[in-house]
Amino acid sequence: MTGKKLNMITQRAVEEGIAMEIGKTSREYFDACNIIEMNELDMKELGIMKNTNVRVTSESGQVIVKAVVARQTVYPGLCHIRQGVWANQVVPPRTQSTGAPQYSGFPVTVEPAPNEKLKTALQLVQGAVGLWKGE
Amino acid sequence: MPKVIENVGCPYCGCSCDDVRVTVSDDGKKVLEVENVCAIGTEIFKHGSSDHRIRSPRLRQPDGSMKDITYDEAIEWVAQHLYKAKKPLMYGFGSTNCEGQAAAARVMETAGGMLDNCATICHGPSFLAIFDNGYPTCTLGEVKNRADVIVYWGSNPAHAHPRHMSRYSIFPRGFFTGKGQKKRTIIVIDPRYTDTANVADYHLQIKQGHDYELFDAFRMVVIGHGKDLPDEVAGIKKEKILEVAEIMANARFGTTFFGMGLTHSDGRNHNIDIAISLTRDLNKVAKWTIMAMRGHYNIAGPGVVWSWTFGFPYCLDLTKKDHAHMNPGETSSVDMAMRDEVDMFINIGTDAGAHFPIPAVKQLKKHPWVTIDPSINMASEISDLHIPVCICGVDVGGIVYRMDNVPIQFRKVIDNQGLLDDETLLNRIADRLDELNAQGA
Amino acid sequence: MSEIIIKNGYIFDPISGIKGDKADISIKDGKITDKVSSKAEVIDASGRTVMAGGVDIHTHIVGPKVNLGREMRPEDKLFRGSFRGGILKQGKHMEMGFSIPSTWKTGYSYARMGYTYANEAAMPPLMAPHVHEEIRDTPIIDISAMPVFGNNWFCFEYIKNKEIENNAAYVAWLLNATKGFGIKIVNPGGTEAWAWGDNCVTINDPVPFFDITPAEIVKGLIETNEYLGLPHSIHLHGNNLGNPGCYETTLDTLKLAEGYKPKNKFGREQVLHNTHIQFHSYKGDSWGTFESGAREVMDYVNSNKNITVDIGAVTLDETTTMTADGPFEYHLNQLNHIKWANVDVELETGSGIVPYIYDKNIKVCGIQWAIGLEIALFAKDLMRVFLTTDHPNAGPFTRYPRVIKWLMSQKAREATLDTMKYKDKVIAASHIASMDKELGLYEIAMMTRAGPAKALGLSSMYGSLAKGADANIAIYDLDPTNIPSDPELIEAAFQNTAYTLKEGVVVVKDKQIVAEPHKYTIWTKVNMPENAQVMHDVKEKFTKNYTVNLENYAVFDEHVHNPRAIEVEVA
């Protein structure tokens, strides 16, 4: 495996906020939220090209997202997926007995997956509960 | 003639801006233009009069499709299921006015169920810290009129609260702050170089998850043990810590705004607890306040309403019917979901389908799932019943609580065109439950 | 419509001067009347004490700081449901909380004690919609709320410039905007100073940047109040509360009222109400030399008829202190180091909250307890000295029956003194042990309904059994001709009425809530010409300094519940 352990955080972004209000099934939401923001050094090390897909795997699940270098930079070893459907495929539900899941600061393995397809929000969520009727 | 409505409240983030100008069509059914609002707020008002808006409750059919039903049928469905359920959970209230939140309290007290709000996955850890350590805070106008030092710690208003910096904190010129940003020192503490860090005087790029240590270091300096600091704490050099602590201690009026960066990371409530302790320490040498960057325009609301109703702000267990119980970890939504303890789920004014970790969604979906929300979202698209309602600030008014717990009176700008508001819907469910309880007794 | 006759009770009604005579009370359509038809429903009050519904002149039961107290103190939910001595659900909603009960428990508990009116003592104007939301959810009792003015930037400016007419127009505007009742002042100037971490501890300490002193603020607001002729006087929590030696500041403060005469159509005779005076009656120069200043303070109060006070009695409970006196709460927290909340409110006020345990094993707490009772026992005119605990500051309002017991029974006071670890030191630093005075039911009726109603300017409606008053009535299981020798039975009788009637509706019967009829929000509507200067100033401040738009500031009509306006005309 060509993956690397990184520390994942998932937080808000204004693009995500706008897209969410347009609608979670919209193209805008799809574009805003299925990306992982990484440090360039990590991408180089992993052989990930900008704007190509990667697989992110955590203790509780995995998701395909598109890797980008963001304006709001992260240091090497840290990565970020905007809050929402894609992030929550990998966010661990453990709460340290507070009620709040581990949305930030959980280990993930990131590996290149240039040939994997991104799934839509509906595909992911309906798929998880056996309601997805599409392909 | 189109009509201009001024002083409209924006139902997006915890800034709860109340200066929006909305132009509506002659028939009062369409929003034509929105001014004085951020990009996100604009979308809400646009969506409010979108042709795609769902206007009828929809019930899932055996083949998986959704079929329109009447509000009466939907109310009966919810009441019957609540009556049968032993431990139903109603969760959400990120976009519900206080009147709706009070009616929800009535429903779940009558049903004998669990009642929780989005704070449980956002600032719930802040509540835990407040329970232990108090909350020395202020209204946002105090920041505007007095503050000369502002700290954003684990919060990124440039993205999550777009007008926060211009209306309340960094830029406005207030009574004692006539020079605005020029006379303010802005400190951003965040592991990312965020767009907020970009406008700060100091960005401390803290090592993710090590906030507690850095707070502790600041406390050491304020208490007078700065020289004992190690050379580096949480990725920040000692000299930088001493320099920033000096600025804090010399503030005329300082405010720390903190966000999900603290409550979602390791330590959770302990990060907030020590943030409050630092604020207490700073008040021995300066004037200092602290404020949670509440996410939604009225997510402070359920904590306020349920505190006066039951004495607890969230994670309420009302199953005993004659008294309320709260114990986050035990009575919190995600924890209950993961233990598969609830036997019915009502998602209201939020989208648990998108914002809960997916394992929790799968667990909840084992049981009847109702979504009460104006929009099509992930929750609505996996629910058994979706009941659309008015959008507060768009087609219903009401009281909301800003992030500083200041009540803001929201207006209705367009006609509700047959949609029920949360309060009416929930009270009708409660009325029906009262009847069922009376029949059962 | 409905008619009720309460037969053969012993009536205590200071407003009518009835001192325990056996008589009937007739009710028609929610009002007291002189006779009813034979069809009237009969309530048998024989062998029982009958009083008007209680009137609480100073209590913190609704609003932001009360609620932050509830929120930050989950441990206050001590008495739950059927265990730990809690209350089983009686009314429409469960009852939660001890020192800061839920709104539902608040209304039910007042009603069970025979109270039907409560005056919320501090409403931050900016937060008025919150206060009115909680009023909506507080059952049975009528509520008024007083906006705070003692640290308000508008008032500072007008009073500094000696513009009483403008200040009056501003006050009238704000009472209307907030649906408020009267002028509350908390630590004048000191809370504004606290926004910089400072305080005003004497009446002459200048307020930072505003070039005004607490003395000027108090006098300016007395003049404003009498200019308007409001039903109530200024309602004052003065400077330097709670510190050893503060009684001198209190006397300085009370003297500010000298020379002022009440001007109103409501029968009110005072120009200054000094609230929770127990907290302002401390001698000594440290906690070590702390002692009672009740005699000195009450000597002054007794000889000055234009002053009323409420006692703020310490009940020896674990409670939650909360006040708009921000610096006081900070300093209290420096003493006990428990959790501390603070909320500074833009242009208007501030507040603080600190849990506090009045431990009978701590000397100072014992002396504070003694002072609260001494205030009432030294009083010469109980129509000017009212029973409160400054709920929840000196103790929860649900302890009023216990305070009544202490005031009516020296034996009960001695029994409590005997439980104190430092009994001898408490006795040495107070007067309580040597006081053998015991109040009677008529005096209790003065302190708990007739007096407060008169001081609020509401005695034609509340606190009275005279014809035309609202039929708010408490019937206690207490035979005045045979007061029990066990003082605990006195407390028990006042804790739960045999009957409470609210506007002619039986709301409590045999200690149980049986009805939750509609209730009123009382506010003062001043009718006066609009003042262009003041409206200009208001607009300017909202444009420049507030973070809420002016048009969203005044409470919308739909958020005020069953308003009942007391009207005042100013030419």
Domains defined along chain A, listed by start: 4-128 (2.40.40.20)
Which helix or strand (DSSP H or E) is residue C473 part of? strand C473-476
| pLDDT of C165 strictly over 90 | yes
Which residue shows structure tokens 């708990």? C448
**Which amino acid is present at C446?**
M
Which residue shows structure tokens 């208003």? B157
Chains B and A touch (3+ CB pairs under 8 A): yes
| pLDDT of A1 strictly over 60 | no
For B352, list phi and psi in degrees, rounded to 5.
-65, -30
Structure tokens at C132: 């009115």
Same domain, C142 and C177: no
Judge whether B354 is closer than 8 Å to chain A, CB to CB.
Answer: yes
Q: Are B357 and A9 inside 8 Å of each other by CB?
A: no
Q: Are B334 and A73 inside 8 Å of each other by CB?
A: no
Inside any domain, residue C553:
no
Query: Dihedral of the CA atoms B112, B114, B115, B119 (nearest 10)?
Result: 170
Q: Are B358 and A88 inside 8 Å of each other by CB?
A: yes
Handedness of CA B375, B377, B380, B381 (dihedral sign): positive
From the candidates B20, B109, B146, B308, which should be mutated to test the interface with C, based on the most C CB atoms within 10 A? B308
Q: How many CB atoms lie within 10 A of CB C39?
A: 7
| pLDDT of C1 strictly over 70 | no
* Average of per-residue pLDDT across C269-279: 98
**Any bridge partners for residue C26, and if so which?**
C5, C33
**Nearest chain B residue (CA) to C197:** B287
The full DSSP string for C305-369 is: TTEEEE-----SSEEEEEES-HHHHHHHHHHH---EEEEEBTTTB--EEEEEE--TTSHHHHHHH
Chains C and A touch (3+ CB pairs under 8 A): no
Same domain, C139 and C269: no
Same domain, C363 and C496: no
Inside any domain, residue C283:
yes
Q: How far apart are CA C75 and CA C549, in angstroms?
A: 37
Q: How many CB atoms lie within 10 A of CB A99?
A: 29
| pLDDT of A3 strictly over 60 | yes
Which DSSP letter does residue C120 get? E
Same domain, C164 and C135: no
Q: Are C461 and C469 in contact (CB under 8 A)?
A: yes
Structure tokens at A90: 């990998």
* Core vs surface per residue C224-236: b (16+ CB within 10 A) or e: bbbbbbbbbbbbb
Nearest CB partner across the interface for A72, out of B195, B362, B378: B195
Give contacts of A10 with chain B, Cβ < 8 Å. 264
Q: Which of C455, C487, C502 is the last residue of a domain?
A: C455
**Count helices and strands in chain A by DSSP H and E runs:** 4, 6
Q: What is the pLDDT of residues A62-94, one digit of tens each?
A: 999 999 998 999 999 999 999 999 999 999 999
pLDDT value at residue C283: 98
Give contacts of B407 with chain C, Cβ < 8 Å. 127-130, 133
Which helix or strand (DSSP H or E) is residue A122 part of? helix A121-128
Handedness of CA C427, C433, C435, C441 (dihedral sign): positive
Residue of C358, C386, C495 whose CA lies nearest to C447: C386
Q: How far apart are CA B94 and CA B96, in angstroms?
A: 6
Structure tokens at B330: 């035990």
Q: What is the pLDDT of residues A39-59, one digit of tens each?
A: 999 999 999 999 999 999 999
Same domain, C136 and C161: no
Which DSSP letter does residue C520 get? -
Judge whether B365 is closer than 8 Å to chain C, CB to CB.
Answer: no
Structure tokens at C158: 């007008």
Same domain, C382 and C488: no
% chain C with pLDDT above 70? 99
Size of interface B-C (CB pairs under 8 A): 193
Give a three-class secondary structure readout of chain B: CCEEEEEECCCCECCCCCCEEEEECCCCCCEEEEECCCHHHHHHHHHHCCCCCCCCCEEECCCCCEEECCHHHHHHHHHHHHHHCCCEEEEECCCCCHHHHHHHHHHHHHHCCEEEEHHHHCCHHHHHHHHHHEEEEECHHHHHHHCCEEEEECCCHHHHCCCHHHHCCCCCCCCCCCCHHHHCEEEEECCCECCCHHHCCEEECCCCCCHHHHHHHHHHHHHCCHHHCCCEECCEEHHHHHHHHHHHHCCCCEEEEECHHHHCCCCCHHHHHHHHHHHHHHCCCCCEEEEECCCECCCHHHHHHHHHHHCCCCCEECCCCCCCEECCCCCCHHHHHHCCCCCEEEEECCCHHHHCCHHHHHHHCCCCEEEECCCCCHHHHHCCEEECCCCECCCECEEEECCCCCEEEECCCCCCCCCCCHHHHHHHHHHHHHHHHHHHC
Same domain, C139 and C152: no
Q: Are B331 and B313 in contact (CB under 8 A)?
A: no
Q: Are B139 and C345 inside 8 Å of each other by CB?
A: yes
Same domain, C359 and C404: yes
Q: What is the pLDDT of residues C107-146, one digit of tens each?
A: 999 999 999 999 999 999 999 999 999 999 999 999 999 9
From the candidates C61, C71, C76, C356, which should be mutated to test the interface with B, based on the most B CB atoms within 10 A? C71
Judge whether B283 is closer than 8 Å to chain C, CB to CB.
Answer: yes
Same domain, C380 and C488: no
From the candidates C545, C547, C550, C553, which should be mutated to test the interface with B, based on the most B CB atoms within 10 A? C547
**Nearest chain C residue (CA) to B98:** C133
Which DSSP letter does residue C83 get? B
Ranges of residues in chain B with a pLDDT under 50 are none
| pLDDT of C201 strictly over 90 | yes
Burial class from Cβ neighbours inside 10 Å (0-12, 13-18, 19+) for residue B1 reads exposed
Judge whether B43 is closer than 8 Å to chain A, CB to CB.
Answer: yes
Structure tokens at B382: 């996996």
pLDDT value at residue B435: 97
Q: Are C70 and B409 inside 8 Å of each other by CB?
A: no
**Nearest chain C residue (CA) to B309:** C102
**Which amino acid is present at A61?**
G
**Any bridge partners for residue B113, and if so which?**
none
Strands B58-60 and B31-35: unpaired
Q: How far apart are CA C203 and CA C238, in angstroms?
A: 8
Q: How many CB atoms lie within 10 A of CB B320?
A: 15
Same domain, C206 and C241: yes
Distance from CA of A52 to the nearest CA of B (A): 22
Which helix or strand (DSSP H or E) is residue C2 part of? none
Structure tokens at A58: 């955590």
Inside any domain, residue C398:
yes
Give the chains touching B; criterion: ≥3 Cβ pairs < 8 Å.
Answer: A, C
Structure tokens at C41: 């429903």
Q: Are C102 and C136 in contact (CB under 8 A)?
A: no
Distance from CA of A5 to the nearest CA of B (A): 15
Q: Which of C522, C539, C560 is the last residue of a domain?
A: C522
Give me the helices (H) in C195-275, please: 214-228, 247-255
Distance from CA of B90 to the nearest CA of C (A): 18
Give contacts of B357 with chain A, Cβ < 8 Å. 60, 88, 91-93, 101
From the candidates B143, B317, B323, which should be mutated to test the interface with C, based on the most C CB atoms within 10 A? B323
Strands B398-401 and B407-410: antiparallel
Q: Are B138 and C71 inside 8 Å of each other by CB?
A: no
Inside any domain, residue C391:
yes
pLDDT value at residue C84: 66
Q: Are C82 and B322 inside 8 Å of each other by CB?
A: yes
Q: Are B413 and B8 in contact (CB under 8 A)?
A: yes
Residue of C56, C30, C230 whose CA lies nearest to C142: C56
Give the chains touching C; criterion: ≥3 Cβ pairs < 8 Å.
Answer: B
Q: Are C339 and B321 inside 8 Å of each other by CB?
A: no
| pLDDT of C431 strictly over 80 | yes
Q: Are B323 and C195 inside 8 Å of each other by CB?
A: no
Q: How many CB atoms lie within 10 A of CB C264?
A: 18
For C142, list phi and psi in degrees, rounded to 5.
-80, 145
Q: Are A128 and B362 inside 8 Å of each other by CB?
A: yes
Distance from CA of B32 to the nearest CA of C (A): 22
Give contacts of B158 with chain A, Cβ < 8 Å. 14
Q: What is the pLDDT of residues C52-74, one digit of tens each?
A: 999 999 999 999 999 999 999 99
Structure tokens at B344: 């019915």
Give contacts of C89 with chain B, Cβ < 8 Å. 321-322
Confidence of residue C83 (pLDDT cuts 50, 70, 90): low
Same domain, C357 and C504: no
Q: Which domain holds residue C263?
A: 147-455
Q: Which residues contact B276 (CB under 8 A, 6 or more apart)?
A: B129, B130, B133, B134, B135, B136, B290
As a residue count, chain B comes to 441
Q: Are B378 and B351 in contact (CB under 8 A)?
A: yes
pLDDT value at residue C87: 80
Q: How far apart are CA C281 and CA C246, in angstroms?
A: 6
Q: Are B238 and B229 in contact (CB under 8 A)?
A: yes
Q: Domain count of chain C?
A: 2
Q: Which of C522, C540, C563 is the last residue of a domain?
A: C522
Give me the helices (H) in C74-127, please: 103-112
Q: Are B305 and C76 inside 8 Å of each other by CB?
A: no
pLDDT value at residue B423: 98
Inside any domain, residue C37:
yes
Inside any domain, residue C564:
no
Q: Are C71 and B407 inside 8 Å of each other by CB?
A: no
Q: How far apart are CA A60 and CA A95, in angstroms?
A: 13
Q: CA angle C487-C491-C492, nearest 5°?
A: 110
**Any bridge partners for residue C291, and if so which?**
C283
Same domain, C152 and C120: no
Distance from CA of B322 to the nearest CA of C (A): 5
pLDDT value at residue B431: 98
Which helix or strand (DSSP H or E) is residue C526 part of? strand C521-527
Q: How many CB atoms lie within 10 A of CB A115?
A: 7
CATH number of the domain encompassing residue C24: 2.30.40.10
Strands C115-123 and C142-147: parallel
Structure tokens at B139: 């209204």
Strands C115-123 and B398-401: unpaired
Give contacts of C76 with chain B, Cβ < 8 Å. 311
Q: What is the pLDDT of residues C476-518, one digit of tens each?
A: 999 999 999 999 999 999 999 999 999 999 999 999 999 999 9
